[in-house]
Structure 1
Amino acid sequence: MKYLRFLRNPSATEIGTSVESFLRYLGGPTCIFLDGMDSSRTRAFVTLLHGNEPSGAMALFRWLKSDRQAAANTVCIVASVEAALASPCFSQRMLPGSRDLNRCFRPPFEGDQGRLAREILEILRLYHPEAVVDMHNTSGSGPAFGVCTHMDRQHDALVSLFTRRMIVTRLNLGALMEISEHNYPTVTVEVGGRLDECAHELAWTGLCEYLQRPRVLAGDEADWGVELLRNPIRLELNPGIGLAYSEYPEPTFPVVLRPDIEHLNFGVVQPEVPLGWVNDELHTLFRAQDASGRCAVSRLLRVEEGRLFPAAPLKLFMITTNAAIARSDCLFYAIEQDAAAVTA
């Protein structure tokens, strides 16, 4: 069974008048091939792996409506169309009962989402693009950043089309970007919060740079001024742990985080800054592993009279105030500040 619909050079008049009508026109996961001015090279753009992250789909729709031609052939994959169209539009990360598609890009490719992920990988292998950009929104508000698993000048160059901040991680979650080291330069670009107009605009301007530039990989440049942040640690809730966001402790929830916690995204959070409240032992509530597989919970968090604080200065990102996403994915990523950032 094939999951992807294939289109070639759809005209601006046939794709609808809004991003929602564009998605209804697609109907499901779709691969759109765009002929470029240079037909000897191909790039790939992947978006909507999560149905509640609209900026990439909005940027692609805007590009198709502009009737511009890309510098090179481009394969555009729009993945979780049905989830995006679930009412209200762009509210569902994935359909109920479905796996997170961006955790399915490794064997075994089980279920509909696993088989769709395998088909996307097969399309990329078929066209063997010179670069792959996978565009996302963060669940909470925050600045843009790129993510890669393999650090070199090619990844720096790709991320610099969108932002000057890049996370380098060795986490193996089954995300699309993890194909990068063995295949072609692949980066995840988080353009900012899914409800932020500035994120939609960055997605558009960055996509234009990616599609229009004759060269997007490294050349003779000395550097791109990209800040590199290495080996973030995922803080997750243990299974079955309840979570709320509130200005006060909630006795029925073992973990309560402050409602404005997403404002801490990418700031350095000092140990005296309160994060929320807990009513049990840290290791009962949370789990976190560093790049070596060691438990890192006590390096990230401490408790003082029921209040939750950082255990040391931390740079936090991907903080969300969406409890469902926090429970199913993670609360946030943290980088210990003694792991100093460097500039590429």
Structure 2
Amino acid sequence: MSNSNVLDYLNNPSPRTLGRSPLEWLDGLQKPTVIRVAGRDRTRTRALATLLHGNEPSGLFSLHRWLLEQHTPEVNMLFLLGGVHPAKISPRLTVRQMPGGRDLNRCFKEPFEGREGEIARAMLAELHNAQPECLLDVHNTSGTGPAFAVTITNDAAHQALTSLYTDRLIMTDLRLGALMEYSEQEVPTVTIECGGSQDEQAHQLAYDGLVRYTSRQDVLSLEKAEWGVGVLRNPIRVEMAEEATIEYSLEPTGRADLTLPPDIEHRNFGVVAPDEPMGWVGDKGLSILTAIGHNRAESVEQVLRAKDGLIYPAQAIKVFMITTNPAIAKSDCLFYAVKATGEPLF
């Protein structure tokens, strides 16, 4: 299948083709879309993907604003809008992936099955053809919380890219089929998590970072970084069993296997001490949870402990990517954790 059957293309789009708002522009898009904008230096290209999840709008909002303002980037820009179809489902920008479909950001590896696999393969082909010097993948976090970046490689180039948006970098050895793993093609690649999808501050951060990314002559040298980047290494991913149930409540109702308080998102990037309860488990205890590290299951008892129905950290931990969206908690993960120092738990 040719890429043009899967993707649409816009070259140097003029403001009149973009609609008056990001939603009007989205309404006019028919397929995942590639946007090319010519730069001052035509010999180099940078790439940015966004909207891989249809309910994460900051990247779309920032790109629409940037295109309307008719910036001339320092180098050629290749933009990839992946999740156009789920983003258009009413109410728009609320659906992560197509009903019955796969998470597009788990499809950037063989065998490229199904509709999402076709889109991922076509996007990878565009990157291969463009040979960008670097790639950013812009997301919103699944809950509220501060911005951070994720990478599979921690070096000066990845830290420099991170510093365009944030001073927090997560380095992980987990391989899930995410676009971020394009780093393995020797192209510095960073996922940017801008903050919550409803957060105006996240939209502004996405725009400010995009302006820095497109306007600087050099984005890969750490001496240009504006912040010292703090690195958290190899977090443990805590997942729920498929059949387990979760609710968010100030106290357990007895109907769910796991109960978390409604304000659990405030724990994001905070340290939780071993004597601080995080929530409640039902009769099945911690057996409904799995701890994943380095692509293999670890003992969840090394991360959490249960006592009298309450859940506590097994040691002081720093947690992030906590969500109060039960669908994401179940389909993706409950949270990630490292030691309070930022070191791996094990």
TM interval, short-chain normalised: over 0.9
Matched, 1:38 2:48: no
- Give the letter for the 1:60 counterpart: L
Q: CA deviation at 1:181?
A: 2.7
In the superposition, relative to structure 1, how do residues 97 and 270 fare at CA in structure 2: closer, same or farther (>3 Å)? same
How far apart, in 1, do the equivalents of 2:276 and 2:131 lie? 47
More deviation, 20-29/53-62: 20-29
SS at match of 1:288: strand
Matched, 1:241 2:236: no
TM-score by length of 2: 0.95
Matched, 1:16 2:49: no
How far apart, in 2, do the equivalents of 1:143 and 1:169 lie? 19
- 1:29-68 correspondence runs (5 A): 29-68=32-71
How far apart, in 2, do the equivalents of 1:281 and 1:15 lie? 52
Matched, 1:133 2:136: yes
Name 1:204's counterpart in structure 2.
207
Match of 2:267 among 264, 268, 271: 264
Matched, 1:107 2:110: yes
In the superposition, relative to structure 1, how do residues 292 and 119 fare at CA in structure 2: closer, same or farther (>3 Å)? closer
Residue-by-residue CA offset, 1:187-210 (whole Å, 9 max, x unaligned): 000010111111000001000000
- 1:109-258 correspondence runs (5 A): 109-218=112-221, 224-258=227-261
> What RMSD in Å do the two structures reach over aligned CA positions?
1.5
Q: CA deviation at 1:221?
A: 5.4
Q: Is the 8 A contact 2:164 2:209 kept in 1?
A: yes
- Give the letter for the 2:115 counterpart: D
Q: Once the two structures are aligned, what percentage of the paired residues are identical?
A: 48
SS at match of 2:181: helix
Could you list the structure 1 runs, at least 4 aligned residues long, displaced by more than 6 angstroms after superposition.
none
Q: What 5-or-longer segments of structure 1 have no aligned partner?
A: none
Residue-by-residue CA offset, 1:264-322 (whole Å, 9 max, x unaligned): 00001111222111113445210112237351311111111111111111111011000
Name 2:97's counterpart in structure 1.
94
Matched, 1:325 2:321: no
Match of 1:291 among 276, 285, 294: 294
Q: Is the 8 A contact 1:282 1:297 kept in 2?
A: no
How far apart, in 2, do the equivalents of 1:333 and 1:217 lie? 27
Q: What 5-or-longer segments of structure 2 have no aligned partner?
A: none
Q: Is the 8 A contact 2:281 2:310 kept in 1?
A: yes
How far apart, in 2, do the equivalents of 1:193 and 1:222 lie? 24
Q: CA deviation at 1:215?
A: 1.1
Matched, 1:276 2:279: yes
Q: Is the 8 A contact 2:151 2:170 kept in 1?
A: yes
How far apart, in 2, do the equivalents of 1:227 and 1:339 lie? 9
How far apart, in 2, do the equivalents of 1:148 and 1:325 lie? 21
Q: Is the 8 A contact 2:286 2:306 kept in 1?
A: no
Name 1:334's counterpart in structure 2.
337
